[in-house]
A and B are shown apart, each in its own frame.
Chain A
Amino acid sequence: MEFAELIKTAKVENVQLSCPGLPPIKGTLCITSHHLLLSSQPGGNGEPSTVELWLLIRNVDAIEKSVQNLGWYQTSRTNSSHRETRIASSLGTITLKCKDLKVLQLEIPGMEECLNIASSTEALSSVDSVMMMYPFFYRPQSMKLKDGWQLYPLQHYYQQIASETSAWRLSCVNGDFTICSSYPPAVIVPATVDDKVLKKAARFRQGGRFPVLSYYHKKNGRVMLRSSQPLLGPNRKRCQEDELLLSAVLDGGERGFIIDTRSAQAAKQARMMGGGTEPKSFYPHWKRLHRPLERGRPLQESFMKLVEACNDTSLSMDRWLSKLEASKWLAHVKAALSTACLAAQCMEREEACVLVHGAEGTDTTLLVTALAQVILDPNCRTLTGFQGLLEREWIEAGHPFHCRCSHSAYSHARLKQEAPIFLLFLDCVWQLGRQFPFSLQFNERLLLVLFEHTYASCYGTFLCNSEKERCLCQVKEKTHSLWSWLNQPSELKKHLNPLYTYNALVIWPSVEPQSLQLWQGLFLRWIRSSQYLDEAWAEIQRLVTSCEDAPEGSAGRTLCHSQPDAAYPLTITGTANEG
């Protein structure tokens, strides 16, 4: 496929860009294979043109276009016969609703240009082939391709565990992805269980996701495992190997907890479809707890409703509150945090092992295990620790980012598998950060960056659905890693929390509705001006850090924030021709 085929009009002059809260800008609009660029007209006294907008087309979630005919009839009364001359002129308006929730408006002179730009953008934004995506073309000069991909190997994490106990081993049973297509090649399993058992146990779990270690709690040696649902089916099948695997985790007589992220009812119903949950009789040492968490479509709809409510600034207080309530987003935040707290509590207070699973084990399961680790483990609250956690518990663990994040809250496209599970996780982490402002080493800005990059990115980190797919697409060879960009000293500085001090304790959040807040920095980022809050934040930063480095602005609202560096020539003509 050639991108050029999709671009009907590459360049339009005199386009006006407006974005709520920012003054409108006039300039030249260009479409390249992956970007929409708008450069302002050069100033009269020879000022160079500046790029005002550098929008990754993948970031466009929905396009709305309206064409106004400005044509009017001019009646000339010079002769006795009334002659009407039509002055043709038209103005098209394209509204670009982006996956990072910003909304841009482009006023394009000329109906044809407008429709062309709209259809080109639409076509380019819906290119679904991973290999055609921008990360495969993005080559910044300051970065090396291989960097960052091996920053957080599971081996490192395993070595930490191995230094404490010999009860666990690293198994390469899934080395060629045949046992489980969504697991990474290496997983951590009980040392007493050999690969043969694992293979059989995998067949008893949906998608082959047999129980593996997710977190080792150093304080008391308890572990958190995750898996997918067991395939009991209507006939209540059982699997000796699976039972063996789970009982190998517990020392004789110990009790473990299974946290099922579905309701008891739903788990029971899943039997009809071949799934189910661990029956007490076959797993006598495991106590099952059901904590239903929303997932899939209802969660996506919740997200969409919330964004819709936030975008309507004219709502009265009553309407706003009832819409906020109807979106149920905060209820989901509360449920996720509560369940994670429960898992954390089982380990910390009850000193028991925990197995977490829902149905597929790739969504709410990961939400709970990852969140519980942030609560329990101080290392996960550092910047590198958090990146490692994301790598381990989301990316390698096979959260299907490609499916879940292909559309955001504005899309009119038919929903397939979209669900903002990862966003929900980020929101929960944000809530933790609000309640423990000194305990996270990173700031809100990092969470915002992660949110943006899961939906549209120039880095390969969140591409594909699993390690297997990433291997097939050679993501690690052909794209740059988000981490290597984030960990550059200049970027790193922006994402550090100046108030951070190491806090070795478990951070138990309050989950009362009065304590949970709407994440304004994300949901209202493009809607209201945060100038005063940003300035206050800069002041805090100035007060806390030594005065030598100038305060950095916070998240900000510039339209060019992900502007790539010198790899792309900044002159517009250069890039436009490339298409």
Chain B
Amino acid sequence: MEHIRTTKVEQVKLIDRFSTSNKSLMGTLYLTATHLLFIDSSQKETWILHHHIAAVEKLALTTSGCPLVIQCKNFRVVHFIVPRERDCHDIYNSLLQLSKPASYDELYAFSYNPKQNESKRLQGWQLIDLAEEYKRMGVPNSNWQLSDANRNYEICDSYPRELYVPRTASKPVIVGSSKFRSKGRFPVLSYYHRDKEAAICRCSQPLSGFSARCLEDENMLHAISIANPAHHYMYVMDTRPKLNAMANRAAGKGYENEDNYANIRFQFVGIENIHVMRSSLQKLLEVSGTKALSVNSFLSGLENSGWLAQTVEWINNETFFKNVNKVFRVATNILVRLSFERVLEGIEDHAKKPKEMQSGVLIEKDWISFGHKFSDRCGQLDGDPKEISPVFTQFLEGVWHLTEQFPQVFEYNEAFLLQIHEHVHSCQFGNFLGNCQKEREELKLKEKTYSLWPFLLDEQKKYINPLYNRDFSQKLVLLEPNTASFNFKFWRNMYHQFDRTMHPRQSVFNLIMTMSEQNKQLEKDFKELEAKMKQRNRQPEELLTKEPLQSVHPASPALKTSPCFKKEQPLLPMKDSIRTIEGSNTADNRYSEYMEELSKAEPAVVSLEYGVARMTC
């Protein structure tokens, strides 16, 4: 690659960013076409994907060398000291170029090759079938049908081809409505609640300005409303703070006037726009990245960043959905107005598909196919930095808070969320590339890249929540999270996922995982043995004498070790080669290394903080 000037720098120091005494590791830095690799003297490897790099900073030269700080989108922060300024400068420039590819074909997904055969690759893309998902929800039915209005993206290029609309909405109504909506995003079905016949629809803001009206749009909303025969009015939720919506009116946009639309109830949900969201996360990271942080400045930083407050807003929003369905005990149509991508979250716990793949479906359906601008929001390409915003991160955090409150409801675990977050930014798989379905088709992603879901499915053992209780989630139709502020915590495992010293040294989760894994294995062994015994009993006796116990024994070593309390074993001993290529892999690092660390006596944090350095003063 033309950007790489230096491929290898020796004697580089990696500094522990929270250590007050500048503890460091000496090692060698390698620059490859896709990764930055650091191998320390104990041969431990740190891989950083170029696409993950959010910012590179070269600090002022010091006596020990030239400091280079790299901040990643997956919240890894590394601090190198390169002995020669010249090398540092080269790496700095290369990384600047490499981390901001100018066009899609430079992205890792197009060169990533896990050596899978073609048919398997295609199968991977077919793993998630949206039509199937709609069928599961119970559409099409007597009220909702598939519309071909957008088959060739003629109405809205950020929507997918297949859209579900009320049966009573005719094509002229759809076309008319789409003209009245920002970017043509007219109201379409997002989620259908089969039991209550309630639907969640989405759309963008109307181009109402101060007084404009559109008959077709009014008809469209009416059609949605009557698509739910059980109830005669519906909610329109605007996810913006009211002030922002008012301000938009001056720009010829705005919100629905309750007077013009029959039977709607209007509601604002104060979710801030992408810019506020971005700066709020920025502030959060600044605070949490401080060395020797005191509790009080941490809490006040948390407060100032407003990040948690926004998360609560999101969850509140969801709660509202539930209340609607609950309080009225009837199906209520809710029209969710989306100023583009916001609020898809509301749907998530409605959908509450605990099944792991379902969550993939959800993301595929609601985020990917409905055009969350992943490329722009995640800064995959060199573009407008103002378009970058952690909307998706906040969605994941919302889900995490729910998993914290309802530990048995979700089939997947935290590692799954982290892994998705990782790959949204990694550009290693085709799923999250591009801004909308149309763009994705143009990029020929399904032909040229791999899908993430089969890879997650292959490793699903790691992402299964061992506490998941199927019965539990059947009887609990809607989750009703407690939205009192004290329920929301700082998501340490996300924002400090690479700062191992901050995490618990022993993980209950891993223990449970191995145990249930072992139990399953034992049950399986047991069944096998049972089957063998039956078989043997049926067999003629001479066979029994020939190989009497031999085959029983080898299968049973698992039985000899007691099923419980085998904690010393490193959990999830999976170190397959795919992982190491990917390198900067979150879940692996964190979830298996605690065990090793335990045997290594003392982790370093405390020691340095209270250590010798201070005692001699």
Binding site for B on A (CB under 8 A): 257, 287, 289, 310, 313-322, 324-325, 328, 330-331, 333-334, 338, 341-342, 345-346, 349-350, 434-439, 499, 501, 503, 505-518, 520, 524, 527-529, 532-533, 535-536, 539-540, 543-546
Contact = CB atoms under 8 A, between A and B. Distances in A.
Contacts of A514: 288, 293, 298, 490, 492, 495-496, 502
Contact of A325 (B300, B505, B516, B612): B300
B611 A345 contact: yes
Given A435-B505, A436-B504, A533-B407, 7 more contacts: A349-B611, A349-B612, A437-B506, A507-B505, A510-B501, A527-B484, A528-B482
A345 B606 contact: yes
A268 to B, nearest CB: 18
Contacts of B488: 317
B592 to A, nearest CB: 16
Q: Which 8 A-B pairs have the closest CB atoms?
A: A320-B485, A513-B298, A536-B407, A317-B309, A325-B299, A321-B303, A331-B295, A313-B484
Given A505-B598, A515-B503, A516-B295, A318 B309 contact: yes
Contact of B565 (A325, A501, A507): A501
B610 interface: yes
Nearest to A338: B610
A512 B511 contact: no
B285 to A, nearest CB: 12
Contacts of A540: 467, 508, 512
A439 B567 CA distance: 11
B489 A543 contact: no
Contacts of A330: 295, 299
Contact of A434 (B300, B504, B519, B615): B504
A436 B505 contact: yes
B306 interface: yes
Contacts of B95: none
Given A317-B312, A322-B303, A536-B407, A505 B602 contact: yes
B67 interface: no
Contacts of A438: 506, 508, 511, 567
Contacts of B564: 544-546
A334 B312 contact: no
A549 to B, nearest CB: 13
Interface string B74-111: 00000000000000000000000000000000000000
27 contacts: A287-B615, A317-B488, A318-B303, A318-B306, A318-B309, A320-B486, A322-B299, A328-B296, A331-B294, A345-B607, A345-B610, A349-B611, A349-B612, A350-B615, A436-B505, A437-B504, A437-B508, A506-B602, A508-B606, A509-B606, A512-B18, A512-B502, A535-B469, A536-B407, A536-B467, A539-B408, A543-B466
Contacts of A505: 598, 601-602
Contacts of A510: 501-503, 603, 605-606
A324 B603 contact: no
Contacts of B113: none
A545 B506 CA distance: 18
Interface in B525-579: 563-565, 567
B523 to A, nearest CB: 12
A299 to B, nearest CB: 15
Given A438-B511, A438-B567, A517-B489, A512 B303 contact: no
Contacts of A439: 506
A322 B606 CA distance: 27
B315 to A, nearest CB: 11
Contacts of B502: 510, 512, 514-515
Contact of B486 (A520, A532, A543): A520
B515 interface: yes
Contacts of A320: 485-486
A399 B86 CA distance: 63
A155 B606 CA distance: 34
Nearest to A287: B615
A518 B567 contact: no
Given A338-B610, A345-B611, A321 B302 contact: yes
A544 B512 contact: yes
Contact of A499 (B482, B511, B615): B511
A138 B529 CA distance: 57
A508 B607 contact: yes
Nearest to A289: B615
Nearest to B306: A318
A544 B303 contact: no
In this complex, which of B407, B495, B563, B567 has the most chain A Cβ atoms within 10 angstroms of its Cβ? B407
B530 to A, nearest CB: 19
Given A506-B601, A506-B602, A511-B606, A529 B467 contact: no
A435 B504 contact: yes
A536 B484 CA distance: 21
A508 B610 CA distance: 11
Interface residues of B, number: 65
B299 to A, nearest CB: 4
Contact of A513 (B299, B489, B565, B605): B299
Contacts of B610: 338, 341-342, 345
Nearest to B604: A508
A321 B308 contact: yes
Contacts of B298: 513-514
Nearest to B511: A499
B487 interface: yes
B455 interface: no
Given A321-B303, A515-B492, A544-B515, A532 B607 contact: no
Interface in B578-617: 598, 601-603, 605-607, 609-612, 615
Contact of B567 (A334, A435, A501): A501
A146 to B, nearest CB: 36
A555 B104 CA distance: 55
Contacts of B609: 338, 511
Nearest to B309: A317
Interface in B270-297: 288, 293-297
Given A320-B485, A499-B508, A544-B564, A532 B492 contact: no
Nearest to A324: B299
Interface in B249-287: none
Contacts of B294: 331, 334, 513
B515 A532 contact: no
B469 A539 contact: yes
Nearest to A314: B484
Contacts of B490: 514
B487 A528 contact: yes
A187 to B, nearest CB: 28
B405 interface: yes
A535 B467 CA distance: 10
B485 to A, nearest CB: 4
Nearest to A532: B406
Contacts of B611: 345, 349
A543 B485 contact: no
Interface string B468-509: 010010000000001011111110100110000111111110
A325 B489 contact: no
Nearest to A523: B486
Given A322-B300, A514-B298, A514-B496, A350 B612 contact: yes
Nearest to B504: A435
A438 B564 CA distance: 13
Interface string B429-452: 000000000000000000000000
Contact of B506 (A436, A532, A536): A436
Given A318-B306, A334-B295, A508 B602 contact: yes
Nearest to A539: B467
Contacts of A342: 610
Contacts of B615: 257, 287, 289, 346, 350
Contacts of B306: 317-318
Contacts of A546: 563-564
Nearest to A498: B564
B295 A508 contact: no
